[in-house]
Chain A
Amino acid sequence: MGWSWLLPHGASTFAARIDFMYYVILAITGIAFFVVELGLVWFLIKYRARPGRKAEYIHGSTKAEITWTSVTAVTVVVIGLMSGPVWNQVKGRHSVPADAMPLAARAQQFEWHFTYPGPDGQLETADDFSLRNQLHVVVNRPAVMLLQAEDVIHSFFVPAWRIKQDAVPGLGIRVWFQPTEVGTFELACAELCGLGHYRMRAQVTVHTQEAYDQWLAEQGQNVAIR
């Protein structure tokens, strides 16, 4: 039924690092949760009003304040320091690998249009072709996608890849990813974009290089026939 604190299976190079960060925070907040909530319940039982016992007249403790302030501050700094590099790997300005396959995506109500570079591997050339709601990529090969939106804000979300990036009208945003598993996955729109938001989905197919080449050749034939 899904009552799990585990993340679903990940299928990109980001998944391991993002999931690790998630589990680190889950462990830290989990410990804090149990310490605080069990402490609270223990106090509620232990210090419940009983006849003949008066509350102690205590106004505070500087030592305690310093302790919990500094422990919390150090913990969040550690979380911040650990998170920073992972963020940079995914979204940093210079994070995109030089050999990434170029792709373009245009989001519009309520569909995704993906443009492929064709056999020459370059976008904006004559052999480019576009497909609706179908994203095809190669396993273990980085791809970088120029994400644009036609009308309103949409958001490119492939849960299995742990990647999400808003597509914003007027901006071209580069998003990159490197799938690690062959198969089909779902792509969802994660930003409310109108009444059809809930059905703005696309299918992601991750091929081996050979299968991709073969698929690409078939696309070329289709284009030629047309």
Chain B
Amino acid sequence: MATTAATVGQVGHAGHVDDRSFLRKYIFSTDHKIIGIQFLIMSLVFLALGGTLAMMMRWQLGFPGQAMPGGTVLPETMAPGGVLLPEFYISLVTMHGTFMVFFAIMPLLVGVFGNFLIPLKIGAPDMAFPRLNMMSFWVAVSSGLIMLAGFWAEGGHAGAGWTAYAPLSEAPEYSGVSLGQQLWCLSLIVLGLSSMLGAVNYITTVINMRAPGMTWFRLPLSIWALFITAILVLLAIPILAGGAIMLLFDQTIGTHFFKPATGGQVLLWQHLFWFFGHPEVYILILPAMGMVSDIIANGSRKPIFGYESMVFAIMGIGFLGWIVWGHHMFQSGMNPTLGQTFMISTLFIAVPSAIKVFNWMGTMWRGSLHFHVPMLHAVAFVAMFVIGGLSGVFMASTPVDIYIHDTYFIVAHIHYVLFGGSLFALFAAITYWYPKMFGRMMNPFWGKVHFWLTFGFYNLTFFPMHQLGLQGHMRRIYDPTEYTFLQPLQPLNQFISIAAFLLFASQALFALNFILSWFTGAKADVNPWRDNALEWSVPSPPPHGNFAVTPTVYRGPYEYSSPETSDDYLPQDKRLPTDRMPASQPAGD
């Protein structure tokens, strides 16, 4: 990575002369690996921003009405004298959710690892449409800039929650926000374009560009998950874009899709949003599950338990994702009979989720567990996803949901799935593939310190939110002390805030480790984790074009501790005397 424009004429591993200019190589690159790294940097910046917004919310909740330390740098329209205003607080709520979902977790999983892993793991030189891929990244950046611009908008940024429920989201007379919400819509429409460009690319690449011998059932589970996710993105994003366009039109050109006074339907927005939104939830977890499967098999030095069940569970979750959206709307006033149907379909998600959890445990069972930093995060993913999955059963049950809907129980649940789940999986994935991305190892000691601090403070922050919710503590309220029944919970709110500050501070270790290792980390060899997948057969980082010779695949990616070899791993492209050459066309196998 230390090469610059000066090293023109460097001979790539693939044997061709790499004479791209700096601009073509690192900025407007069509190389899937560079685009993956670009997405990584972009989404880590937004992750940090989303976290910062959360810290401000936690300050207000723990210490309502007190001046926030350093808060005086904010303008008068947000925090006069450092005390957050209620209208700014709901913008924080909205933008924390928006940035984390759309600009941090989703691009980290799909943009970063979809890009980086798919061609490398299937033995392809690049994506099917490299230029679309480049466009996808720069469109995402533009979308992020539009979303950021909202903070400077007259009337403040969008403040109707990341779910933007109409009519609050489209009525400046009720929200005080106009331009901010319009930028929010515009940004998501643009981001949708980026996601669809990516999804088309991933689907085409996985179908058409697998190396000889890479049959469907030899694909790593990360690739299966990213493939199913790409299908979900392709089908779900247009619905969000459609809804956002309608919302934008209601605000700007006088349509009234969601305006009840003129015949619009308020609940239509919720149906559109959640018909996108629930598949989106699985877009945010399936790639995490896939990558965790790869890492747990590696850390256990054992084949993945029930590979085919795992594949079918991914498909099952992907399918069920389309018929459960109504569980977000049990209390919305939709026909109560629908509540019953959506309850049953929702409860059934427990089945593929349980299959996955038990198969991860089966993989560890009788394994030889090596607790490298990615493995620690992957195991934490399983442990935390179990909590997030089980807490989901409570709100799937319609009568229990009547009480806990829109309380902190839901906040706890979503954070056990998206932080305890997706983000721990991302820490696992980033630390695991860092050597392949940058050619250097992250510091394992500081990696472990970061893991333990994060794991501890994470649980201290989010676990007590279940308790808040059980006492009836509503979501998205600026000052809980307004209510007599919430006042006894204030010490718990303060406790959570302090834990959250420490959780946030602990991430500095990750940031420092990430940045410093880029320059000073130990050089990574080709296969530091002794992994079987194809990306570990090429140099770290792989050259432009990835493979000098298209690899031939003889087996699945999880042949650890195979009796056929004295090593405890058996690469997918290593030909044993007993292996036959595969048919030249992998598709249709």
Q: 5 closest pairs, A vs B, by CB? A: A170-B260, A159-B472, A86-B399, A60-B306, A76-B347
- Residue numbers of A with Cβ under 8 A of B are 1-8, 14, 17-18, 21-22, 25-26, 28-29, 32-33, 36-37, 39-40, 43-44, 47-50, 53-61, 64-65, 68-69, 72-73, 75-77, 79-80, 83-84, 86-88, 90-93, 109, 151-153, 155, 157, 159, 162-166, 168-171, 173, 186, 188-199, 201
B405 within 8 A of A: yes
Query: 17 A–B contact pairs at CB < 8 A?
Result: A2-B468, A29-B390, A32-B386, A55-B368, A56-B367, A58-B365, A61-B362, A72-B354, A84-B398, A87-B340, A92-B336, A93-B336, A152-B171, A159-B403, A166-B332, A192-B475, A194-B176
Residue of B nearest to A184 (CB): B484
A186 surroundings in chain B (CB, below 8 A): 483-485
**Binding stretch for chain A, among B42-50, B423-431, B529-537, B558-566:** B558-566
Contact B368 A49 (CB under 8 A): yes
Given contacts A2-B471, A56-B302, 11 further A-B contacts (CB under 8 A): A32-B390, A40-B382, A40-B386, A43-B369, A58-B366, A164-B402, A169-B261, A190-B405, A191-B165, A194-B90, A198-B482
Alpha-carbon gap, A76 to B348, bound state (A): 7
Contact A195 B87 (CB under 8 A): yes
Contact A194 B168 (CB under 8 A): yes
Alpha-carbon gap, A39 to B379, bound state (A): 12
Alpha-carbon gap, A53 to B476, bound state (A): 52
Residue of B nearest to A199 (CB): B482
Contact of B333 among A43, A69, A171 (CB under 8 A): A171
Contact A55 B266 (CB under 8 A): no
Contact of A83 among B86, B397, B405 (CB under 8 A): B397
Contact of A196 among B86, B366, B562 (CB under 8 A): B86
Count of interface residues, chain B, beta-carbon cutoff 8 Å? 105
B483 surroundings in chain A (CB, below 8 A): 186, 188, 201
Residue of A nearest to B477 (CB): A198
B293-324: which residues lie under 8 A (CB-CB) from chain A? 300-303, 305-309
Residue of B nearest to A23 (CB): B400
Residue of A nearest to B386 (CB): A36
A76 surroundings in chain B (CB, below 8 A): 347-348, 350-351, 393
Contact B354 A68 (CB under 8 A): yes
B21 within 8 A of A: no
Contact B331 A198 (CB under 8 A): no
Contact A197 B366 (CB under 8 A): no
B527 within 8 A of A: no
B24 within 8 A of A: no
Alpha-carbon gap, A198 to B93, bound state (A): 13
Contact B366 A55 (CB under 8 A): yes
Alpha-carbon gap, A25 to B484, bound state (A): 29
A6 surroundings in chain B (CB, below 8 A): 470
Alpha-carbon gap, A168 to B491, bound state (A): 34
B159 within 8 A of A: yes
Contact A72 B340 (CB under 8 A): no
